[in-house]
Amino acid sequence: MGAGGGFWFCLIFLGVLLDWVFGDPRWLPHPIIAMGKTISFLNEKLNRGNHRKAKGFLLLFLVLGLTGGIVFSIQYLLYQVHIALYLIFNLYLVSTSLAAKTLAVEVHKVKNALMSGNLAEARVQVGYLVGRDTTELTEKEIIRATVETTAENTIDGVLAPLFYMFIGLFIPVVWLNPGVLVMLYKATNTLDSMVGYVQEPYKDFGYASAKFDDLLNIIPARIGSIFMLLGGMVLGLNIKEGYRIYKRDRYNHKSPNSAHPESVVAGLLGIRLGGNNQYFGEVLEKPTIGDHINPLVVFDIRETVSIMYSSEVLVVIFSVIMAILVFSF
C-alpha cells in the first residue's frame, strides 16, 4: 500500500466527515448528474428497435468505460500538474460518492410533511425517493416506502461506496484506485436506477445494468447488513429480533440484495415492510419483510436514518483499526 494507501485512507476519512457536515452542496457540480445526462442521451439513441438486450450491454460498457477513462485521465493530468490538485480532486470524488447527509435531509422532508399533516406534500417528497407510483399512497404506505428506500440506500449510497473505496486501497493497479473504483460503482448504481426496471421499455434494455448492479452489491449488502445490525445494537434496538428477521426474510425480494438491509431494519424496529407496489401503472406483487409487532409510525423514519449513521460510524471505526494493523506491519 505504501504512502499512496495512507493518503487515500486519509482522503476517505475526510470525505466521510465532509459528507456528514455539508452533504452535496447545490453549487458544487456532481458527477452523478453528468452520469445521468450521459445515460439519458445513450438511452434515447440505443433503446429502440431490435436487439435491445445486446444494446443494453453496450450501454453498460460505454458508461463504465467513459466513467473510468475520464476519471483516471483527470487524476493523471492533475497529478502531473501538482499533487495538491490531485488530492483535492480525489477528495471531491470521495465526498460526492457518499450520500448520508443528502439522504437524511430528503427523507426528513417526508417525515416533516407527515408530522405537519400534509399528506399531499409527503407524497410528492417520497416520489423523489422511490420509483413506485406515490400519488395515492396512504400515510402508512408513505412511511413504509421511506423506511425501505432509506434502508436500501444505506447500502447503495453509504456502505457500498465505502466498501469499494477501501477495496481500492488493496488493488495493485493504478487505474483501479479508490476514486476510479467508487465512480464505477456509482455509475453502475445510476444505470440501475435509470434503466434497471422489469417493465417496458426497460425490460430487455436494462437487463445488463440491473444484473451488474446486483453483482456489485452482493458482498456490500451482506457485510453492510451486519454493520446495520451492530449499529442498531449501539442504538439500543432489538438486535436479537433484527437478526432473526434478517436470517428469515433476507431473500424476500426479487432483487438478491434489497431485502438484506430492509429485513435488518424491519427486525430492529419490529415492523413489517415489503408487499405490493405499483410501477408505471403495473402492480408488482412482492413478499412481506418482518413481523407486524409495532405499527408503522413516522418515528420509524428517524430511527432508520439513525441506523444508517451508526452503521457508517462502525464501518469507519473498523476500517481505522484495520488500517492501523496493516500499516503497522
For residue range 295-324, list pLDDT tens digits in order: 999 999 999 999 999 999 999 999 888 877
pLDDT for the residue numbered 1: 37
Task: Specify burial of residue 127 (Cβ count, 10 A radius: 0-12, 13-18, 19+).
Answer: middle
Give 278's pLDDT tier (boundaries 50, 70, 90). low
For residue range 129-188, list pLDDT tens digits in order: 987 788 889 999 999 999 999 999 999 999 999 999 999 988 878 889 999 999 999 999
pLDDT for 325 beyond 60: yes
pLDDT for the residue numbered 82: 94
* C-beta separation of 35 from 190 below 8 A: yes
The distance from CA 279 to its chain's CA centroid, rounded to whole angstroms, is: 20
pLDDT for the residue numbered 2: 41
pLDDT for the residue numbered 279: 57
Quote the percentage of the chain above a pLDDT of 90. Answer: 80
Residues ≥6 apart with Cβ < 8 Å to 45: none
- Report the pLDDT averaged over residues 64-79: 97
For residue range 82-124, list pLDDT tens digits in order: 999 999 999 999 999 999 999 999 999 999 999 999 999 999 9
pLDDT for 276 beyond 70: no
Residues ≥6 apart with Cβ < 8 Å to 171: 177, 181
* C-beta separation of 152 from 99 below 8 A: no
- Report the pLDDT averaged over residues 70-78: 97
Quote the percentage of the chain above a pLDDT of 70. Answer: 95
